[in-house]
Amino acid sequence: LSDRLQQSIKKIKGKGKVSEQDVKEMSREVRLALLEADVNFKVVKDFVKRIRERSVGEEVMSSLTPGQQVIKIVKDELTELMGGNESKIAVSKRSPTVVMMVGLQGAGKTTTTGKLANLLRKSYNRQPLLAAADVYRPAAIQQLETLGSQLDMPVHSQGTEADPVDIAKQAVEQAKEEHHDYVIIDTAGRLHVDGDLMGELQRIKDAVEPDEIFLVVDAMTGQDAVNVAESFDEQLDITGVLLTKLDGDTRGGAALSIKAVTGKPIKFAGMGEKLDQLEPFHPERMASRILGMGDMLSLIDKAQTQVDEKQAKDLESKMRNASFTFEDFLEQMEQVKNMGPLDEIVNMIPGANKMKGLQNASFDDKQIVHVEAIIQSMTKKERLDPSLMNASRKKRIAKGAGRSVSEVNRLLKQFEDMKKMMKQMSNTKGKKGKGMKFP
């Protein structure tokens, strides 16, 4: 969020005793940081007041680690501000469930319509029908149809001459006939909130009585997003917000204020342009991210389910005495793979997003598959002792894995380098230990 906030958090974190002065100092930084992040000033004022009250209260003063307790309060309050617990998507008693997507032009409605449909099918086993009710923007219908064919999902459209209200109604009819359990209606946007747009959306709403009206908001638009959310909510009584472009260089202020100002939860977050890049919104994780702790919770969650402790210990000792083999490597890779796409994992590491190089590096999951194929083509003996490797073995392995010999060579080299590094690391560790004893 801001370096200064991170500094003051660092400062207070280890404190065994927190004075009112400390709290004052920190809440000042929190206040500035939030304002800097485009959070609505009224929201900030309330927020800081609550933090201050709680921080000088008994729960902190009587705790063993007051510094950390204060951080926790800040995080709790941030989480609360963004909506407490994460939300779910409605399921209507009468099929189909009707979802209406609204928002300004360029916010990401059409893209998110596709993403949401994808998510509903993948995670909830639903069969959505998409409806193209944006008849104004050139190629908007085609855009949705393209998404539909990418997803292999039907799209209801009636061309650009039809009335959006009628399109929405017909789409619901088609869904009933064809037994789709969801209809997601993509609607038109404007550059600014205006009466025409709202009137049309209102008529669609009256005609199909949606179970969800999702406002799609571009997280990059900062403070403006809050005003937009406020007017859409006033006019349409939205049921939730989908925040897009959170993968961008946004300060997250929009996420913070929208819930506080409208009272409507942020349900999903768009993390990229691809169709699988929509995630349930986790207020708690967002709070950590904002506080610069990285998305440690997500990472820990994932790691805990995937890596069992004993394995981790074994591995550590192997690393220490450099008896790490390709067998272990393969096992490690399985685990990392189970944790999810590599670039996502890297992004969750605190500070990783600041590291040059890592920022834009794309971690190719295909590469993992290739490496895995190569290791799997080795015999067990070779995996345990790569020094056996000669030209004909390499050739055999390359062939078996469907990769080139130079790729096999590269992997062998990387592996050797890695082992060297492990050895060095354990050596410096060892030296330190010895250094304690005076000869």
Task: Give Dmax (Cα) for the chain.
Answer: 91
188 marked ligand binding residue: yes
* Helix spans in 322-364 (H): 326-339, 342-348
CB of 259 to Mg ion, least distance (A): 24
Count CA atoms closer than 13 A to 370's CA, side-chain side: 15
Q: By rule CB under 5 A, what count of residues binds Mg ion?
A: 3
Report the distance separating Cα 171 and Cα 208, nearest Å.
10
Which among Mg ion, ligand GDP, none contacts residue 1 (Cβ within 5 to 8 A by kind)? Answer: none
Q: Which of 151, 154, 115, 152 is nearest to 132 (CA)?
A: 154
Q: Which is nearer to Mg ion, 31 or 109 (CB)?
A: 109
364 marked among binding-site residues: no
CA dihedral (125, 129, 130, 131) positive or negative = negative
What would the x/- binding string for ligand GDP be over residues 178 to 197, using CB under 6 A? -----------x--------
Q: Which of 313, 252, 300, 306 is nearest to 82 (CA)?
A: 252
**Exposure of 168 in the CB half-sphere (CA atoms within 13 A):** 27
Residue 59 touches which of Mg ion, ligand GDP, none (CB < 5 to 8 A by kind)?
Answer: none
Site for ligand GDP in 257-316 (CB under 6 A): 270-273
Question: Residues 80, 86, 224, 247: which binds ligand GDP (CB under 6 A)?
Answer: 247
Q: Which of the listed partners (Mg ion, ligand GDP, none) does 67 bind, with a CB threshold of 5 to 8 Å by partner kind?
A: none
Q: How far is the CB of 358 from ligand GDP (least distance, A)?
A: 18
Interaction pattern, residues 198-237, with ligand GDP; x per rule: CB under 6 A: ------------------x---------------------
Render 97-150 in DSSP notation, one character per residue: EEEEEE--TTSSHHHHHHHHHHHHHHHH---EEEEEE--SSTTHHHHHHHHHHH
- CA quadruple 287, 360, 345, 415: dihedral positive or negative? negative
Interface residue with Mg ion, options 27, 97, 110, 118 (CB under 5 A): 110
Asked if residue 244 belongs to a known ligand binding site, the reply is: yes
Alpha-helix runs per DSSP H in 219-282: 223-236, 253-262
Task: For the CB of residue 137, give the shortest distance to Mg ion in the complex, in Å.
Answer: 6
Q: How far apart are CA 348 and CA 358, in angstroms?
A: 12
DSSP tag of 218 = E
- In whole angstroms, how close is the CB of 184 to ligand GDP at the nearest point? 12
Cα–Cα nearest to 222, from 430, 37, 5: 37
Lookup: tokens for 358: 């890592």
Find the part of the chain contacting ligand GDP (CB under 6 A) among 48-56, 74-82, 239-247, 360-368.
Answer: 239-247
Residue 120 and residue 115: Cα distance in Å, rounded?
9
User: Does 253 count as an annotated binding residue?
Assistant: no
- Pick the closer one to ligand GDP by CB: 25 or 247: 247
The verdict on whether residue 263 carries a ligand-binding annotation is no
Query: Which region, left, alpha or beta, applies to residue 195 given φ > 0 means left and ψ of -120 to 50 means alpha?
Result: alpha
Q: H-helix or E-strand containing 81?
A: helix 66-81
Pick one of 245, 251, 289, 403: the residue that binds ligand GDP (CB under 6 A): 245
106 a known binding residue? yes
* Distance in Å, CB of 149 to Mg ion, minimum: 16
From candidates 67, 83, 96, 108, binder to ligand GDP by CB under 6 A: 108
By the rule CB under 6 A, 66 interacts with ligand GDP? no
Chain mean position to CA 274: 13
d(CA 53, CA 312): 42
CB of 94 to ligand GDP, least distance (A): 28
Q: Which of residues 138-197 bind Mg ion (CB under 5 A)?
A: 140
Strand order from edge to edge, sheet including 212-218 = 155-156, 128-133, 182-187, 97-102, 212-218, 240-244, 266-270, 278-280
Report the nearest approach of ligand GDP to the CB of residue 260 (Å).
22
**Residue 107 interacting with ligand GDP (CB under 6 A):** yes
Among 109, 251, 282, 302, binds ligand GDP (CB under 6 A): 109
Residue 221 Cβ vs ligand GDP, minimum distance, rounded to whole Å = 12
Per partner kind, with CB cut-offs from 5 to 8 A, the member of Mg ion, ligand GDP, none near residue 108 is ligand GDP
To the question of whether residue 79 is assigned a binding role by annotation, the answer is: no
Nearer to Mg ion, 108 or 283 (CB): 108
Asked if 254 and 225 count as a contact pair (C-beta separation under 8 A), the reply is: yes
Binding interface with ligand GDP (CB under 6 A): 103, 105-111, 189, 216, 244-245, 247-248, 270-273
Binding interface with Mg ion (CB under 5 A): 109-110, 140
Sequence ranges of the binding site: 103-110, 186-190, 244-247
Sequence ranges of the binding site for GTP: 103-110, 186-190, 244-247
